[in-house]
Amino acid sequence: LSSLIWTIFFKFQFRNVEYSSGRNKTFLCYVVETQGKESATCRGYLEDEHAAAHAEMAFFNTILPTCQAGARHDVTWYVSSSPCVTCAERICEALRKDKGLRLTIMVGRLFMWEEPEMQAALRSMKEAGCKLRIMKPQDFEYVWKNFVEQEEGEEAKSFVPWEDIQENFQYYEEKLAEILH
Protein backbone atom coordinates (compact mmCIF):
# COMPACT_ATOMS: atom_id res chain seq x y z
CA LEU A 1 0.00 0.00 0.00
CA SER A 2 1.53 3.27 -1.09
CA SER A 3 1.39 6.16 1.33
CA LEU A 4 0.59 8.49 -1.54
CA ILE A 5 -2.30 8.87 -3.97
CA TRP A 6 -1.59 8.31 -7.64
CA THR A 7 -1.99 11.39 -9.81
CA ILE A 8 -4.75 9.78 -11.91
CA PHE A 9 -6.90 9.12 -8.80
CA PHE A 10 -6.31 12.60 -7.45
CA LYS A 11 -7.24 14.30 -10.72
CA PHE A 12 -10.43 12.24 -11.04
CA GLN A 13 -11.62 11.84 -7.45
CA PHE A 14 -10.82 15.32 -6.11
CA ARG A 15 -12.15 17.26 -9.08
CA ASN A 16 -14.80 19.57 -7.59
CA VAL A 17 -17.45 19.02 -10.25
CA GLU A 18 -21.14 19.10 -9.36
CA TYR A 19 -22.09 15.89 -11.16
CA SER A 20 -19.65 13.37 -9.83
CA SER A 21 -20.55 10.40 -12.02
CA GLY A 22 -18.22 7.48 -11.28
CA ARG A 23 -16.72 9.27 -8.29
CA ASN A 24 -18.24 6.96 -5.71
CA LYS A 25 -15.23 6.52 -3.48
CA THR A 26 -13.96 8.84 -0.79
CA PHE A 27 -10.28 9.72 -0.62
CA LEU A 28 -9.32 11.14 2.76
CA CYS A 29 -5.94 12.77 3.34
CA TYR A 30 -5.26 13.51 6.99
CA VAL A 31 -2.88 15.53 9.11
CA VAL A 32 -2.94 14.84 12.86
CA GLU A 33 -1.11 17.28 15.12
CA THR A 34 -0.84 15.94 18.64
CA GLN A 35 -0.13 18.20 21.61
CA GLY A 36 0.67 16.06 24.62
CA LYS A 37 3.70 14.71 26.45
CA GLU A 38 5.31 14.58 23.04
CA SER A 39 4.09 16.79 20.23
CA ALA A 40 3.90 14.95 16.94
CA THR A 41 2.48 15.28 13.46
CA CYS A 42 1.42 12.36 11.36
CA ARG A 43 -0.10 12.33 7.92
CA GLY A 44 -1.38 9.85 5.41
CA TYR A 45 -4.38 8.96 3.36
CA LEU A 46 -7.21 6.47 3.34
CA GLU A 47 -9.70 5.45 0.72
CA ASP A 48 -12.95 3.54 1.07
CA GLU A 49 -11.93 0.21 -0.47
CA HIS A 50 -8.77 -0.62 1.41
CA ALA A 51 -10.43 -0.44 4.77
CA ALA A 52 -13.64 -2.41 4.02
CA ALA A 53 -15.37 0.65 5.43
CA HIS A 54 -15.78 4.28 4.51
CA ALA A 55 -12.54 6.23 4.79
CA GLU A 56 -13.98 8.33 7.64
CA MET A 57 -14.79 5.19 9.68
CA ALA A 58 -11.37 3.75 8.90
CA PHE A 59 -9.76 6.89 10.32
CA PHE A 60 -11.57 6.48 13.65
CA ASN A 61 -10.97 2.72 13.75
CA THR A 62 -7.32 2.55 12.66
CA ILE A 63 -5.57 5.95 12.77
CA LEU A 64 -6.94 7.79 15.80
CA PRO A 65 -6.41 4.86 18.23
CA THR A 66 -2.66 4.98 17.43
CA CYS A 67 -2.45 8.59 18.66
CA GLN A 68 -1.60 9.40 22.31
CA ALA A 69 -4.60 8.87 24.55
CA GLY A 70 -5.60 11.90 26.59
CA ALA A 71 -3.66 14.30 24.37
CA ARG A 72 -5.16 17.06 22.26
CA HIS A 73 -5.42 16.18 18.58
CA ASP A 74 -5.88 18.82 15.89
CA VAL A 75 -7.02 16.83 12.88
CA THR A 76 -7.44 18.14 9.36
CA TRP A 77 -9.01 16.03 6.66
CA TYR A 78 -8.87 16.84 2.97
CA VAL A 79 -11.65 14.73 1.48
CA SER A 80 -12.80 14.30 -2.10
CA SER A 81 -16.45 14.60 -0.98
CA SER A 82 -18.34 15.35 2.22
CA PRO A 83 -19.28 12.45 4.55
CA CYS A 84 -22.45 10.39 4.14
CA VAL A 85 -25.12 10.54 6.87
CA THR A 86 -23.76 7.47 8.73
CA CYS A 87 -20.19 8.80 8.74
CA ALA A 88 -21.45 12.25 9.82
CA GLU A 89 -23.13 10.59 12.84
CA ARG A 90 -19.87 8.80 13.69
CA ILE A 91 -17.96 12.10 13.45
CA CYS A 92 -20.42 13.78 15.84
CA GLU A 93 -20.13 10.86 18.26
CA ALA A 94 -16.31 11.01 18.21
CA LEU A 95 -16.26 14.78 18.78
CA ARG A 96 -18.70 14.55 21.68
CA LYS A 97 -16.80 11.67 23.29
CA ASP A 98 -13.26 13.02 22.89
CA LYS A 99 -13.03 16.62 24.15
CA GLY A 100 -9.39 16.79 23.04
CA LEU A 101 -10.30 16.16 19.39
CA ARG A 102 -10.53 19.14 17.04
CA LEU A 103 -11.60 18.27 13.50
CA THR A 104 -11.51 20.42 10.39
CA ILE A 105 -12.81 18.85 7.20
CA MET A 106 -11.76 20.40 3.91
CA VAL A 107 -14.19 19.11 1.28
CA GLY A 108 -13.66 18.93 -2.49
CA ARG A 109 -17.37 18.70 -3.22
CA LEU A 110 -20.62 18.22 -1.30
CA PHE A 111 -22.13 14.73 -1.37
CA MET A 112 -25.90 14.61 -2.06
CA TRP A 113 -26.30 18.08 -0.53
CA GLU A 114 -29.86 18.49 -1.87
CA GLU A 115 -31.11 15.71 0.46
CA PRO A 116 -32.71 17.05 3.70
CA GLU A 117 -31.11 14.30 5.84
CA MET A 118 -27.69 15.15 4.37
CA GLN A 119 -28.19 18.83 5.18
CA ALA A 120 -29.22 17.89 8.73
CA ALA A 121 -26.10 15.70 9.03
CA LEU A 122 -23.84 18.58 7.93
CA ARG A 123 -25.52 20.91 10.45
CA SER A 124 -25.14 18.37 13.27
CA MET A 125 -21.41 18.01 12.47
CA LYS A 126 -21.04 21.79 12.78
CA GLU A 127 -22.98 21.77 16.08
CA ALA A 128 -20.70 19.00 17.39
CA GLY A 129 -17.71 21.31 16.79
CA CYS A 130 -16.52 20.12 13.39
CA LYS A 131 -15.24 22.88 11.12
CA LEU A 132 -16.46 22.28 7.58
CA ARG A 133 -14.78 24.10 4.70
CA ILE A 134 -14.85 23.79 0.92
CA MET A 135 -11.40 23.25 -0.60
CA LYS A 136 -10.03 26.35 -2.33
CA PRO A 137 -7.64 25.99 -5.29
CA GLN A 138 -4.71 26.41 -2.85
CA ASP A 139 -6.03 23.48 -0.76
CA PHE A 140 -6.04 21.23 -3.83
CA GLU A 141 -2.47 22.38 -4.47
CA TYR A 142 -1.51 21.54 -0.86
CA VAL A 143 -2.93 18.01 -1.26
CA TRP A 144 -1.13 17.66 -4.59
CA LYS A 145 2.21 18.63 -3.05
CA ASN A 146 1.84 16.58 0.13
CA PHE A 147 -0.21 13.50 -0.73
CA VAL A 148 0.14 12.76 -4.45
CA GLU A 149 2.71 10.30 -5.79
CA GLN A 150 5.04 11.90 -8.31
CA GLU A 151 6.48 9.74 -11.07
CA GLU A 152 9.86 8.22 -10.14
CA GLY A 153 12.83 10.08 -11.54
CA GLU A 154 10.70 12.94 -12.83
CA GLU A 155 10.89 16.38 -11.38
CA ALA A 156 7.91 17.08 -9.19
CA LYS A 157 5.13 18.33 -11.44
CA SER A 158 3.38 21.43 -10.26
CA PHE A 159 -0.35 21.37 -9.67
CA VAL A 160 -2.36 22.41 -12.71
CA PRO A 161 -5.84 23.60 -11.66
CA TRP A 162 -8.71 22.46 -13.85
CA GLU A 163 -10.65 25.03 -15.82
CA ASP A 164 -13.65 25.50 -13.50
CA ILE A 165 -11.93 24.97 -10.13
CA GLN A 166 -12.59 28.50 -8.81
CA GLU A 167 -16.24 28.65 -9.98
CA ASN A 168 -16.95 25.21 -8.51
CA PHE A 169 -15.31 26.20 -5.21
CA GLN A 170 -17.53 29.32 -5.03
CA TYR A 171 -20.64 27.30 -5.95
CA TYR A 172 -20.05 24.76 -3.17
CA GLU A 173 -19.03 27.42 -0.69
CA GLU A 174 -22.38 29.19 -1.23
CA LYS A 175 -24.31 25.89 -0.91
CA LEU A 176 -22.50 24.98 2.32
CA ALA A 177 -23.10 28.46 3.78
CA GLU A 178 -26.84 28.16 2.98
CA ILE A 179 -27.02 24.73 4.63
CA LEU A 180 -25.08 25.66 7.77
CA HIS A 181 -26.81 28.96 8.52
Distance CA 20, CA 111 (A): 9
Nearest Cα to 141, choosing from 111, 172, 162? 162
Q: How many CB atoms lie within 10 A of CB 97?
A: 8
56, 154, 163, 178: which is the annotated catalytic residue? 56
> DSSP labels for 132-155?
EEEPPHHHHHHHHHHHEEPPTTSP
| 27 in Cβ contact with 9 (< 8 Å) | yes
Rounded to an integer, what distance in angstroms lies between the CA atom of residue 98 and that of residue 100?
A: 5
Does the annotation mark 149 as catalytic?
Answer: no
As annotated, the active-site residues are: 56
